[in-house]
């Protein structure tokens, strides 16, 4: 598997790169970013996967996330995939809505036409891209963790719950914790997976926990001034599910913060230090 370098820049002694490759999973070219911190030759480093939210590409967190200083200090590789397939032949929402189709892949493998051909983001972020990154960057595959924002928070928590032995840590900013119960998720899961709600449960954090999935613990931050908090995010549902299943959850409600990268960048270092503690050894 080959990659094309789009750009590289030196930052905090490491290299921030943007790369393109032809994806077998999506049938399109995909772009992703990787920050590799300064390190000794031959060293294998832990990797943090970051899954972005609705309307985003790899670029949002790469440009606004303010993660590189902490990653350089902690010795963490930081990988940011795109959120959906893209291209002239990739179907989007018929009404060009922001919350379905292009930029809104929801980290599932679609089964419904016409999306099943390209929208295979679950396979992309859990299988194809990790193999590609491991083949081109100094990754220690035994030390991986995952985090995300909003739709990507949903992705990160579900990825961790379904692969608890691969990811040592999982955290999220403003995650959609119960997509089966909120408008964003109901629209996306119906469109990609069809009307059978049983098929949705493996892509719903709260449902996965209710169905017996276990994890070592989560760190979740939400902003109390987030306009989506009550209708779309529903963190209280995650709290209740974790309490019932005895899954440790640190849920922090941050006064004054909204859904934006001003919020994410403020607490990014906290999350990366939390991940680094669990990625040691």
Radius of gyration of the chain, Cα coordinates, nearest whole angstrom? 17
Query: How many C-beta atoms lie closer than 10 Å to residue 27's C-beta?
Result: 16
Active site residues: 150, 226, 259
Alpha-helical regions (H) of 163-234: 183-193, 205-210
Beta strands 29-36 and 45-51, pairing class: unpaired
Query: How many C-beta atoms lie closer than 10 Å to residue 237's C-beta?
Result: 18
Alpha-helical regions (H) of 107-150: 121-123, 129-136
C-alpha–C-alpha distance, residues 65 and 80, integer Å: 11
Please answer whether residues 50 and 79 qualify as being in contact, where contact means their C-beta atoms are separated by less than 8 angstroms.
yes
Query: How many C-beta atoms lie closer than 10 Å to residue 97's C-beta?
Result: 12
pLDDT of residue 137: 98
What is residue 229's DSSP assignment? I
The closest of 31, 36, 137, 128 to 86, measured between CA atoms, is 31
Domains contained in the chain, CATH given: 4-279 (3.40.50.1820)
Helix (H, G, I), strand (E, B) or coil at 132: helix
pLDDT of residue 33: 98
pLDDT averaged over consecutive 10-residue blocks of the chain (281 residues)? 95 98 98 98 98 98 98 98 96 94 98 98 98 98 98 98 98 98 98 97 98 98 98 98 98 98 98 97 72
Please write the tens of the pLDDT for every residue from 34-58.
999 999 999 999 999 999 999 999 9
pLDDT of residue 61: 98
């Amino acid at each position: 598997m080959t990659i094309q370098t789009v750009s590289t820049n030196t930052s905090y002694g490491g290299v921030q790169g943007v790369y393109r490759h032809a994806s077998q999973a999506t049938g399109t070219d995909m772009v992703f970013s990787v920050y590799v911190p300064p390190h000794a030759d031959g060293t294998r480093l832990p990797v943090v996967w970051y899954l972005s939210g609705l309307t985003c590409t790899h670029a949002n967190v790469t440009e606004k996330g303010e993660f590189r200083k902490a990653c350089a200090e902690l010795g963490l590789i930081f990988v940011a995939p795109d959120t959906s397939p893209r291209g002239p032949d990739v179907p989007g929402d018929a009404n060009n809505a922001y919350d379905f189709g292009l930029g809104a892949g929801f980290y599932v493998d679609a089964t419904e036409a016409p999306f099943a051909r390209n929208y295979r983001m679950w396979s992309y972020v859990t299988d194809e891209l990790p193999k590609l990154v491991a083949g081109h960057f100094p990754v220690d595959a035994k030390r991986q963790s995952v985090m995300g924002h909003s739709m990507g928070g949903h992705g990160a928590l579900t990825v961790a719950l379904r692969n608890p032995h691969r990811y040592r840590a999982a955290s999220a900013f403003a995650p959609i914790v119960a997509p089966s119960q909120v408008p964003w998720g109901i629209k996306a899961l119906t469109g990609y997976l069809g009307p059978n709600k049983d098929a949705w449960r493996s892509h719903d954090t709260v449902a996965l926990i209710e169905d017996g999935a276990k994890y070592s613990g989560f760190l979740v931050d939400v902003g109390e001034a987030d306009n989506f908090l009550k209708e779309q995010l529903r963190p209280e549902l995650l709290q209740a599910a974790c309490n019932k299943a005895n899954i440790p959850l640190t849920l922090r409600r941050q006064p004054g913060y909204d859904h934006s990268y001003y919020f994410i960048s403020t607490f990014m270092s906290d999350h990366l230090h939390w991940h680094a503690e669990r990625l040691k050894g």
